[in-house]
Structure 1
Amino acid sequence: MTGPSASGGHYGEALFEPEHPQESERIDAAALVYDPVTTGRLRALIPGPGARCLEVGAGTGTVVRWLLDEAEVTEVVALDRDTGGLDALTDPRLRVVTADLRDESLDLGGFDLVHARFVLMHLPERRQLVSRLGRWLNPGGWLVLGDAVEVPNPLDTSSAYRRTMDAMWRALRSTIGTDTSDVPAYPHFLRDEGLRNVAGELVCPPLVAGGPLARFWSETLDRMRPALEEIGRVDSAVVEEALAYLASPRLAELGPGMLMAWGRRP
């Protein structure tokens, strides 16, 4: 689920096209790391058997599968601009909606749980969309948001890894509008929408050479090489050094993490 940048680009079009042969593998590498965190939180919040849930930005369907298999839901609505990753799912409780979250004509009904992970950070209208998602909650329903937060090493401003990661964020913002600067404010956004029991947590999973998170970032950086050089202003030698570092036993970084925030509609 993606939105345009100032230059009109979209996630899935300007970058990270879903038809790329490695795209599903790249997404699933991140899911392998973050799904246990996500599903642990959702398990604690789902009101009980019979819940109606909305998964925004369903991707390859890992969270959708968990909701169907583990959460005793009545219905899961999976919303995304590209829903090809859900073609193999045939559960009668699943409703797949191929649409843009920003489409004002969307009428999906009310939900006991609304979850969006790594979605709003790519949408310039994220603050308005938090309001929209909150309005889709049934009384007692939970809104759960998860997006990326980076905690860079303040003592490192010049290594190949740091320069490449900084270039990545610049290129993402310029190309497809990605912006994580207000992610730490998500708990305040939920509070300001009138939600109760608001809380948040930041999880930075281990970044280990050969592990799924290192594979995710390596594939991401490799796929972004032209944008890193043209927009991010790093040359190919720096990118190569950063990729080698991510695969090296010398790797010693606190990688980008995920902030989750949640709140309940009274």
Structure 2
Amino acid sequence: MSEQQMVSGCARSKSSIPAPPQGEHTFTGTDINTSFFPTTTTKNITYVKQDIKDPTPQAWHNAFDLVNLRMILIAAGSGAAQRAVVNEYIKLVKPGGWIQIGDCDRVCPTPEAENPRYHDMFACIRAVCQSSGLDPLEAPKIKSWLAEAGLEEVQERTAMRAVGKRNVNEELGKLGIEADLLIAKGFAMGAKGLDPSFKPLPDERLDSLVHSLETELTDTGAYFPMRFIWGRRPL
């Protein structure tokens, strides 16, 4: 494969990477849910059903210039399982290539008085994770995983995704609201079914979370804390 890249869990139709000296960039997008794949074909982009928990195809090993894992590691399970996934996907990177991981800290970065329902959303996320035996605060450890795997130039950067009124771009702000309401709906439903010892909020607060969160994000806005970690595989 010449100048091939993988985007796992998220596929993009455009690249900001300069054109290679020979040939063209090709991309492979993966997800366990094929309904997320576009119905129309795009030049140089292939979509493949792949469970993050399954071994990667042997043909992918040492084949990609860039592997991007975004908001997907938690689907692997425990911290040990997430680290095993990272090590598995490092195998796909060509010597001299890069792996980039995007995750979030799952803690609301603003005061509770400012964003009470956003705090409730993150409380639901953490509770559902913990009830399944997962550590919801695993993201700060990822940088050390890359370093201990022998990668070079390992770096990390945090960034805040501005949601709703916090975003100066109204369209992006609205898209952020839509995304976060889907998150809140899923985790509120999950939290409502938890054992009382894990349940983070009373049922009435869980039932009203999505509606009141939409109002909060529209009127006040919020920040979603992202963490990006990357490293280069040695030549």
Aligning the two structures, in what range does the TM-score lie when normalised by the shorter sequence? Answer: 0.7 to 0.9
Whether 1:112 and 2:73 are equivalent positions in the alignment is no
Number of equivalenced pairs: 210
Question: What is the Cα deviation at residue 153 of structure 1?
Answer: 5.4
CA distance in 2, matches of 1:85, 1:242: 23
Indicate the structure with greater strand content. Answer: 2
Structure 1 74/162 Cα, relative in aligned 2: closer, same or farther at 3 Å? closer
Aligned to 2:25: 74
Within 5 Å, which residues of 2 pair with 1:44-193? 51-58=3-10, 61=11, 63=12, 65-67=13-15, 72=19, 73-104=24-55, 106-107=57-58, 108-109=60-61, 110-124=63-77, 125-152=81-108, 156=112, 159-174=116-131, 179-193=135-149
Preserved contact between residue 164 and residue 234 of structure 1 (Cα < 8 Å): no
Structure 1 142/164 Cα, relative in aligned 2: closer, same or farther at 3 Å? closer
Q: Secondary structure at the match of 1:165?
A: helix
Residues 20-78 of structure 1: per-residue CA shift (max 9 Å, x gap): xxxxxxxxxxxxxxxxxxxxxxxxxxxxxx621011113xx3x2x123x8764432122
Preserved contact between residue 101 and residue 229 of structure 2 (Cα < 8 Å): yes
* Matching residue within 200, 212, 225 for 1:257: 225
Q: Please give the root-mean-square deviation of Cα atoms over the aligned residues, in Å.
A: 3.0
Structure 1 94/71 Cα, relative in aligned 2: closer, same or farther at 3 Å? farther
Long gaps (5+) in structure 2: 166-172
Question: What is the Cα deviation at residue 156 of structure 1?
Answer: 3.6
CA distance in 2, matches of 1:221, 1:150: 12
Long gaps (5+) in structure 1: 1-49
Question: What is the Cα deviation at residue 137 of structure 1?
Answer: 1.1
Preserved contact between residue 225 and residue 236 of structure 1 (Cα < 8 Å): no
Q: Secondary structure at the match of 1:194?
A: coil
Residue identity opposite 1:53 in structure 2: Q
Percentage of identical aligned residues: 18
How high is the TM-score relative to the length of structure 1? Answer: 0.67
CA distance in 1, matches of 2:121, 2:221: 15
Aligned to 1:208: 164
Q: Secondary structure at the match of 2:33?
A: coil
